[in-house]
Structure 1
Amino acid sequence: MYDNTTLQVGVAGGQPVIVKMGPLVSDVPATVLLSADYTLWNPPGYPQRFSYTGAAIRQPGTVTAGTTIKVIKAEAAALVAAGAATEV
């Protein structure tokens, strides 16, 4: 189903948000505070974000800087690595 490849799931602050794929189903949500606008993509094979956050996030769409969102840990780590969020 998923392997250790990478997948770009959006763009934040002009930087690609690249998630290391893995067993996403078992990953737990993490809360991040966005420091840059985050344009979410809906790539094939990537789970719908509302399926693990409990709230619908419009995708594709943009979440503005200053917003706190819940995403899986792998996506949170990618946002932090892109310099677009801090974990809270």
Structure 2
Amino acid sequence: HPPRGPPPYADPRTTSVIAGSRLDLLEALETVGATHPELVEPLVLRDVQELDYNEIAALLDVPLGTVKSRIHSARTAVRPLLKVTD
């Protein structure tokens, strides 16, 4: 017999943490995007959509080096805005 109840990925203890983390990320991206909108799209394409750097460069029609630079700058800008707890 399969186990009863919701699957483990639906555990509210973990889902709320994930949802909270995503909300924090969205808020951080909005903050960075308000002053540097060109940084947000490549970061989302890489870290959320999981495209590779070459795909992002082709999609945005910018050089590969520009994509890498923007992603690095976006991560640097977003990191201090995230509420990291241990």
Q: Shared fold (TM-score greater than 0.5)?
A: no
Please state which band the TM-score falls in when normalised by the shorter chain: under 0.3
**Structure holding more strand per residue:** 1
**Structure holding more helix per residue:** 2
Larger RCO: 1 or 2 (CA < 8 Å, sep 6+): 1
